[in-house]
């Protein structure tokens, strides 16, 4: 009998497609019975395929409608992941709210998020009362995290003078010294991998007091222009060798907790270790469908995941995958309100190029 083959359609932005859909991944998947097929976003999704599974990272209501139509016409198809679940990550407040709701006990380590406030208008930005409990320096982040270059444009703000350059809606988050190294935890279904990356350097007491500009801007600090991130040379170059990793079981528990709470399979989160304590970890960012190609052995990890999904679906039906795509996650009205901020209201830090941090 001919081997049963499975079709997985992918809908990705061109840059993402280029980095993720590598020949090595396509070939490995094919050798294990899975055909990765590009979805033509100019045509109706429901008219393409047939797909056992749809993999996607696209934004907007049109795309959500395409997925809804696909779901109606293909009740057996799996959508990874549900657009409603992904939307939580498009807003830097709702993104981290889920962390505060996790209950994980660990003998020696604790976790949380940095102190932060959301600012919707200039008036509140300069209102000292709104700032109660928050200390300089702070990082100003655009409220919306929609994958645009603008949504990654941040500023380290040292004092009130630095506030003039900010354009709400923004999140102001306390900057926490963490030894210049960030931990990125990649999750693919049941797989969890933690790697080290370069981060912003610590800020000394003198720098806190002496900054003339009041603000320095930066963007995507943990991403290098060159691609050599996974080998020994990279770690030496970045002097990451000496940094101790967080306990694996602790990180895995957080990853599983986040996965269950968010109902997502493909994401990563950024963690820093608070230099004041050494056993206190802070989650600062969660990203949907991150740059997996940077993960060592990504082809095998992703192919294993694809096989797992289609086999579960084949054996026990779509419900068994745990990926019923239109299950809307429960959230309160406030979250619902702030996650639905489409359009050009994502805040813009409006920063001068000369303020860029050199690392
Ligand atoms: O492109 P890459 O490989 O740098 O991946 C980006 C991620 O880098 P990471 O894997 O965390 O190092 C990146 O993570 P950070 O936000 O930089 O922590 C984002 O996930 C980014 O997606 P988006 O622009 O937020 O939609 C990711 O960009 P897209 O590939 O999804 O455009
Ligand atoms: N609260 C914080 N304290 C210290 N450094 C931070 C903090 N928040 C962010 N950073 C630094 O800024 C970088 C970008 O912030 P992040 O929230 O991850 O945004 P992005 O979505 O663009 O990756 C992080 O990788 C880290 O180096
Ligand atoms: Mg990040
Ligand atoms: Mg991010």
Of the ligands numbered here, which is closest to the C-alpha atom of 147?
1
The Cα 101–Cα 112 span in angstroms is 10
Q: Are residues 41 and 142 in the same domain?
A: no
Q: Are residues 55 and 105 in the same domain?
A: no
**Given the CA of residue 114, which atom of ligand 2 is nearest to it?**
1
Q: Are residues 171 and 212 in the same domain?
A: yes
**Given the CA of residue 145, which atom of ligand 2 is nearest to it?**
21
Q: Is residue 330 part of a domain?
A: no
pLDDT band at residue 231 using 50, 70 and 90 as cut-offs? low
- Tell me what the mean pLDDT of segment 106-131 comes to: 93
Please check the confidence at residue 92 and state whether its pLDDT lies above 60.
Answer: yes
Tell how far the Cα of 205 is from the centroid of ligand 1, in angstroms: 32
Structural domains in the chain (count): 2
- Tell me what the mean pLDDT of segment 92-109 comes to: 95
Tell how far the Cα of 284 is from the centroid of ligand 2, in angstroms: 6
With H, G, I as helix, E, B as strand and everything else as coil, classify residue 77.
coil
244 secondary structure, DSSP code: P
The binding site for 1D-myo-inositol 1,3,4-trisphosphate consists of: 16, 152, 184, 287, 291
Q: Are residues 47 and 152 in the same domain?
A: no
Q: Is residue 338 part of a domain?
A: no
Q: Are residues 124 and 232 in the same domain?
A: yes
Burial of 133: CB neighbours in 10 Å, binned 0-12, 13-18, 19+: exposed
Pocket test for ligand 2, best of 154, 155, 178, 351 (most atoms within 8 A of CB): 154
What CATH number does the domain containing 63 carry?
A: 3.40.50.11370
Q: Is residue 156 part of a domain?
A: yes
Q: Are residues 27 and 101 in the same domain?
A: no
Q: Is residue 227 part of a domain?
A: yes
Cα 337 to the chain's mean position, in Å?
20
pLDDT in tens, 299-311: 999 999 999 999 9
Q: Are residues 137 and 189 in the same domain?
A: yes
Which range marks the domain in which residue 35 is found?
Answer: 6-81+301-316
Q: Any residues with CB less than 8 A from the CB of 345 and at least 6 apart, and which? A: 144, 169
pLDDT in tens, 301-341: 999 999 999 998 888 776 666 654 332 222 222 222 222 22
Q: Are residues 64 and 170 in the same domain?
A: no
What CATH number does the domain containing 108 carry?
A: 3.30.470.20
Q: Are residues 97 and 141 in the same domain?
A: yes
């Amino acid at each position: 009998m001919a081997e049963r083959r499975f079709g997985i359609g992918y809908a990705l932005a061109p840059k993402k497609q280029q980095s993720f859909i590598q020949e090595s991944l396509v070939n490995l998947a094919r050798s294990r019975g899975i055909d990765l097929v590009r979805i033509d976003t100019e045509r109706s999704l429901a008219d393409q395929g047939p797909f056992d599974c749809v993999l996607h990272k696209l934004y907007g209501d049109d795309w959500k409608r395409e997925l809804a139509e696909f779901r109606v016409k293909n009740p057996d198809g799996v959508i990874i992941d549900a657009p409603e679940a992904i939307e939580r990550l498009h807003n830097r407040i709702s993104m981290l709210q889920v962390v505060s709701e996790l209950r994980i006990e660990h003998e020696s380590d604790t976790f949380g998020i940095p102190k932060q406030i959301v600012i919707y208008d200039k008036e509140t930005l300069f209102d000292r009362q709104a700032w109660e409990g928050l200390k300089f320096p702070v990082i100003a982040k655009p409220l919306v995290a929609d994958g645009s270059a603008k949504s990654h444009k941040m500023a380290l703000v040292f004092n009130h003078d630095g506030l003039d350059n900010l354009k709400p809606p923004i999140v102001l988050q306390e900057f926490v010294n963490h030894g210049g190294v960030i931990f990125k935890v990649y999750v693919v279904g049941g797989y969890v991998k933690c790697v080290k990356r370069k981060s912003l350097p610590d800020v000394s007491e003198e720098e806190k007091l002496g900054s003339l500009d009041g603000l320095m801007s930066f963007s995507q600090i943990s991403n290098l222009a060159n691609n050599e991130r996974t080998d020994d040379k990279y770690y030496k170059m970045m002097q990451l060798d000496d940094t101790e990793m967080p306990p694996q079981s602790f990180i895995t528990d957080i990853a599983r907790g986040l996965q269950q709470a968010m109902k997502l399979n493909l994401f990563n989160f950024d963690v820093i270790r608070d230099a004041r304590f050494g056993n206190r970890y802070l989650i600062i960012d969660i990203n949907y469908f991150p740059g997996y190609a940077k993960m060592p052995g990504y082809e095998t990890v992703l192919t294993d995941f694809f096989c797992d999904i289609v086999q579960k679906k084949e054996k026990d039906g779509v419900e068994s995958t745990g990926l019923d795509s239109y299950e809307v996650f429960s959230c309160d009205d406030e979250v619902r309100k702030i996650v639905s901020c489409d359009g050009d209201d994502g805040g813009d830090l409006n920063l001068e190029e000369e303020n860029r941090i050199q690392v």
